[in-house]
Every structure is written in structure tokens, then in C-alpha cells.
Amino acid sequence: MSATAAELDRLAAHPPIVRLIASLTQRPGRPAAVAGDVRLAAILLALRLGSTGEPEVLMIKRADAERDPWSGHVALPGGRMEPADADLAATAVRETWEETGVDVARDGRLLGALDDVTPRTPTLAPMVIRPYVALVRAEVEIVPSNEVAAAFWVPLSALRTADAWGTGNVRVRGGERRVSVFRHGPYTVWGLTERVLRQFLTYVGEPRAGESFD
């Protein structure tokens, strides 16, 4: 067994990841019905073992770009499917590598997909986005592309903190809108990414009494 495989096996043995894998096995993500001219995309929840012994999720803040509808948003790595992609899993792996330098094919392991999601912004072209989940090595190097202003890891305990979830005002197309949000340090997550994180937590399940990450 390689060192990478052994490390990923240790991460897979953590209680919340055990529940995640079991949930993905028992109820794989549901694909959306696609008809007509619908764009396809994929995003990735990459999980590593943090320095405290706790699983962490990789997130990014997108660089400001005039023509990008997600300009400046806090998000998960991902993007549109390209003709050369064999499937949406390949899209998630490719886009994550292009945006963050994380090579899941070399340094990780795909676990499966969550339910497909669609943006609720009426000005966007019809799109279906598939969220994938993967394990990656703890020491994987982040090399942000010019599309990424920042990349950071969010501990699973932070996602489970009830006070981090609520509502807030965000800037949308020159105005303000009150929406559901997740807050982590200086970052505010809303929209499609917030919905995906909520869905991810249902797959991880609630922490059990006395559970720790040691």
C-alpha cells in the first residue's frame, strides 16, 4: 500500500467520514433531469486531515472579474464541463486542479456525488451543477490560479457550529439582498455554495456523544 493510500485510509476511518461514506453508499446523489440547452458543471468538496486531527473542507474566494457571475464569491472549486471531460467527475477533478493545484487523481480519492443543484439567479443561463466529495492528502499544496483570490480550509467543527449559520445582507447586482448564510472568519458563504454545504452536513450526520477527532 502506498503512503498516500494509507493516509487516505486513516482519514476515511474518522467517524464523520465513516458516516459520510455510508450515506453516499446508502443514498447516492440524485442527478437532475436535464433537457434542452442546459449547461453542466461540477464542484468539489475536498476533505483533508487538518493539523488538529480534524477533517477540513477546502474553499476558495473567487477573484473579482467583471464577466464572472460569481465574481468575488466564496465557493468550492469547480466549473463548467468541457468537451474533453469524460464525465462530471472528471470535470470536478480537472477544475479543482486548475484552480487550486490540488490533483485529486494523484493525491486523493473520489467518494461520490451529492444531489445536483441549480442556481436560482434568473439572469444565468440554465445550469446543473453536481457536487462531488473527495479525500486528499493532508500536506497537499495549494497553488491558486489567477481566478482564485484566496484558498483556505474550513474545519468540520466550524461547519457544525449552529451560530455560524443564519441570515445576512449580501451585495447582488448593485443592490442588497437578505439571504441564508454561513460565516467563517472574514468569509460569508451564501447562495448555491451555502446550499451545498447544508446538504453535505446531512450526509456527514450529527456528531455523537463523546465523539472527538483525536
- Is there a domain that residue 211 lies in? no
pLDDT at res. 59: 98
Task: Render pLDDT for 146-162 as a digit per residue (tens, 0 to 9).
Answer: 999 999 999 999 999 99
- Is there a domain that residue 210 lies in? no
Mean pLDDT value across the chain: 91
- Is there a domain that residue 214 lies in? no
- Is there a domain that residue 129 lies in? yes
- Is there a domain that residue 212 lies in? no
Structural domain range at position 163: 3-204
- Is there a domain that residue 213 lies in? no
d(CA 172, CA 73): 11
156 contact partners, CB below 8 Å, separation of at least 6: 16, 54, 55, 56, 57, 204, 213
pLDDT at res. 214: 42
pLDDT at res. 54: 94
What is the value of pTM for the model shown?
A: 0.93
- Is there a domain that residue 165 lies in? yes
d(CA 14, CA 156): 12
- Is there a domain that residue 142 lies in? yes
Domain count, the chain: 1
d(CA 137, CA 8): 7
CA distances from 160 to 55, 156, 203, 204, 213 (A): 12, 6, 12, 10, 14
Task: Render pLDDT for 86-135 as a digit per residue (tens, 0 to 9).
Answer: 999 999 999 999 999 999 999 999 999 999 999 877 666 789 999 999 99
d(CA 172, CA 84): 33
Segments in the chain forming alpha helices (H): 3-12, 15-26, 88-100, 104-107, 156-159, 191-204
Short-list 11, 147, 141, CA closest to 77: 147
CATH number where 117 lies: 3.90.79.10
Average pLDDT over residues 37-44: 94
Task: Render pLDDT for 172-209 as a digit per residue (tens, 0 to 9).
Answer: 766 788 999 999 999 999 999 999 999 999 999 877 65
Cα 13 from chain centroid?
A: 20
CA distances from 34 to 45, 114, 116, 126 (A): 23, 16, 11, 10
d(CA 49, CA 12): 10
Helix (H) or strand (E) holding 189: strand 187-190
